[in-house]
Structure 1
Amino acid sequence: MATPSYAGAESHHHPDSDIETGETAVWPLVECLGGSVGAGIIFLLSLPVLADVMSPLGALSPTGLLVVFLFAWLFLWLLIAVTRERVTG
């Protein structure tokens, strides 16, 4: 079954001139960097305790440490983003 080339063309029209988001790409980058710096500091300060906790995992302990770091980074990133959104409105 052949579909005409003009089918649905009207539904894909996006006027770019009326879009006002007010959001720039700088804020997500700042939030990401802030979360990574915060997670890095917390991770380095608690590394001896985390290494003792992860030692029963044997060969998987570096993976466990990486997972803890990634969750801390994502949590802090989300916390910074939500805080900024609440403060700026």
Structure 2
Amino acid sequence: MTTPINAEAESYSPPDHNNKTGENLVWPLLECLGGGISAGVVLLLLLPMLADVMSPLGALASTGLVITVLFLWMFLWTLTAVTRKRVIGEQSH
């Protein structure tokens, strides 16, 4: 096996683009919680109907229900983030 002549260990440094100092992580966390709580409320309201729809799946009904809840959570999380950005806009630092 041959090695290149310039085989030196390079240190990794993350790219400088989109690297805002003091970036606030509160909004993404609130968006995540808002989407999760909304998904939980929708799940509780629609659980009887979802159980009827998932019942033909037999043993996979619980898996289908979990996948449905996860996609609902991601959709509502994204909807919350987009709505917040449209209403109050991006905060500039």
**TM-score by structure 2 length?**
0.76
For these two proteins, the number of residue pairs brought into alignment is 83
Shift of the 70–53 alpha-carbon distance from structure 1 to 2, 3 Å rule, reads: same
Residues in 2 aligned to 1:59 and 1:73: alpha-carbon distance in whole angstroms: 23
1:87: Cα distance to partner?
1.2
* Structure 1 counterpart of 2:85: 85
Superposition pairs of residues 58-73 of structure 1, within 5 angstroms: 58-73=58-73
RMSD in angstroms over aligned alpha carbons? 2.5
TM-score by length of 1: 0.79
Structure 1 residues 26-78: Cα deviation after superposition (integer angstroms, max 9, x where no partner): 11000000000000000011000000000000000000000110011000000
**Paired-residue identity, %:** 55
State yes or no: 1:2 paired with 2:19. Answer: no
1:56 matched to which residue of 2?
Answer: 56
- Aligned-partner Cα distance in 2 for 1:26–1:75: 19
Within 5 Å, which residues of 2 pair with 1:17-56?
20=20, 23-56=23-56
Larger helix share, 1 or 2: 1
* Shift of residue 6, structure 1, vs aligned partner: 9.2
